[in-house]
Amino acid sequence: MQTDEPISQNVDCWRVVAASVLGKSHEKVKQHCQDAHHWELLPEGVLVAAVADGAGSASLGKIGAIVASQTAVETIRLQYGVQDAEEEDDQKWQLLLTNALEAAKKAVEEEAIACKVTSRELATTLIIVVATPNLIAAVQVGDGVAVGCDRTGNIISLTTPQRGEYVNETIFLVSPNALENIQVKVWRGVVANIAMLSDGLQMLALEMSGGKPHAPFFFPMFKFVADVTSPTEAQEQLVAFLRSERISTRTDDDLTLLLATIVN
């Protein structure tokens, strides 16, 4: 349903607002936004969403991010079964997510062959979330963050930024042994909100010590989605926030923020 244009839409029980914005560092060198996102709503109120961040050093990182995020969501749509979904054990959810991750990796590698470049030129991170009103399952390769929030205001860390062996080294979907170093989490409870973001927002979204979700960042975001009355205004406001001085003085990287809330 979505790649990297800002979107705000109510579909059944979910309201989703998402945008990917070019960072100042990439703007200065006239480079395209390397981030991408994609989401769809499946039957029975199941949300599937993906956020990808193409490597700045990869010449086709943008393409890698688009291919990875779209393939991941499409794979889950094709493999997901709606019957008794919330009764399935965690291993079945983990298998669904890892299958999507493997499919995304394969798609990126095949795209690299088609483009006659090495897969490293399409390097990207990838976060995938599947959510129902009573469950969130997430998987991640690389940096970025996914969090959930229950009806009592508890913020749940679904993923944490993943680094390589060395400082400032990021694990990418096409990295060696990437699939052996994934994060997978299945959380069960009454879901209220979900947020997914690329690493450009990590400095604001995570506490400096411990890396836990920073509540003063997320709660206004969740309220913003809950209060949306106009899709057009929501798009404008989210993009304006991502391009605001508050953000630009803290980071010059590309930015993606995907927000989803259960609509009563």
pLDDT at 135: 94
DSSP strands (E only) in 28-167:
35-42, 46-53, 126-132, 135-141, 145-150, 155-157
Cα–Cα distance, 136 to 70 (Å, whole number): 19
Instruction: Give tens-digit pLDDT for 102-150.
Output: 999 999 999 999 999 999 999 999 999 999 999 999 999 999 999 999 9
| 84: pLDDT strictly greater than 80 | no
Residue 223 has pLDDT above 70, yes or no: yes
Q: Is the pLDDT of residue 88 over 50?
A: yes
DSSP string over 43-105: TTTEEEEEEEEB-TTSTTHHHHHHHHHHHHHHHHHHH---TTGGGS-HHHHHHHHHHHHHHHH
158-216 per-position pLDDT tens digit: 999 876 554 456 899 999 889 988 999 999 999 999 999 999 999 899 997 778 999 99
Domains and CATH numbers, the chain: 7-262 (3.60.40.10)
Instruction: Say how far apart CA 134 and CA 137 lie, in whole Å.
Output: 10
Between 93 and 12, the more confident residue is: 93
pLDDT at 65 over 90: yes
* Percent share of the chain, pLDDT over 70: 88
| SS3 state of residue 197 | strand
